[in-house]
Chains A and B, each alone.
Chain A
């Protein structure tokens, strides 16, 4: 079985992450709030993780509502 690939959205602050979580949750996209992985540096310690197949859906939902710093493939 191949390991599940994830995309993480990094935000400039915790409150951005929480706002994004709310939107993603309402859209019904499966997500998880996780600590920012050690190898990625970010001022905000938490980020939003979605399955890589759902990154388009997540990005679309967040577009224009919450700006993210970058997306990183895990």
Chain B
């Protein structure tokens, strides 16, 4: 009798990891999954570890996968840790990784500051229309000048903040430029938060 591994409801990459562990310890494994990404990851696992693979549709979107070792009897499948990287799909990655926008200057691009000023204003205006919205906007160096009282993008920042976007303004930079009493958007932050936020995402947007 194959052992049954029920991975329904688990997020990628847990299904393929649990399936891999089970087939390493058992000759035959039945895996119950509820999404196509898990099916494909387990299909690749089977191909790489030379296991027999078959999938049967069950009720309610459940797929029953039968994994059977086809190698030497009693030998666990070759370990393919190095290459068996589960793919959790572009869509799921897109949904889970927050977008962090880094404004390190009050201009967009290099070359001409008059043009750079127009570009940054239109960029920030357009940010508010992005779907999904960025999770965080970080302003540092001259980027903090965008968050002052008479900033031309103040209304855009306010709209973004209202929509739940966290706007971090570098306190050191505000102090350096003497803008302490003029910041009108976002919250004063520090290098710990800034570095952690930047390190915590794979999607940094820098105009």
Contact = CB atoms under 8 A, between A and B. Distances in A.
Asked if A and B bind, the verdict is yes
Interface of A: 14, 17-18, 32-35, 45-46
A34 B124 CA distance: 9
A17 B118 CA distance: 10
7 contacts: A32-B121, A32-B125, A32-B155, A33-B121, A34-B122, A35-B126, A46-B122
Contacts, number: 21
Interface of B: 114-115, 118, 121-122, 125-126, 152, 155
A42 to B, nearest CB: 13
A33 B155 CA distance: 12
A14 B125 contact: no
Nearest to B119: A46
Contacts of B125: 32, 34-35
Nearest to B115: A14
Nearest to B121: A33
Summarize A's interface: helix, strand, loop or mixed.
Answer: strand
Contacts of A33: 118, 121-122, 152
Nearest to B114: A18
A45 B125 CA distance: 13
Contacts of A18: 114, 118
A32 B118 CA distance: 10
A66 to B, nearest CB: 15
Given A32-B125, A35-B125, A35-B126, A46 B152 contact: no
A31 B118 CA distance: 13
A32 B155 CA distance: 10
Q: Which of A14, A17, A35, A45 has the most CB of B within 10 A?
A: A35
Contacts of A46: 118, 122
B164 to A, nearest CB: 20
Contacts of A32: 121, 125, 152, 155
B106 to A, nearest CB: 14
A17 B121 CA distance: 13
Contacts of A17: 118
A9 B96 CA distance: 39
A35 B122 contact: yes
B205 to A, nearest CB: 16
A34 B155 CA distance: 12
B151 to A, nearest CB: 12
Q: Which of B122, B152, B155 has the most CB of A within 10 A?
A: B122
A45 B118 CA distance: 10
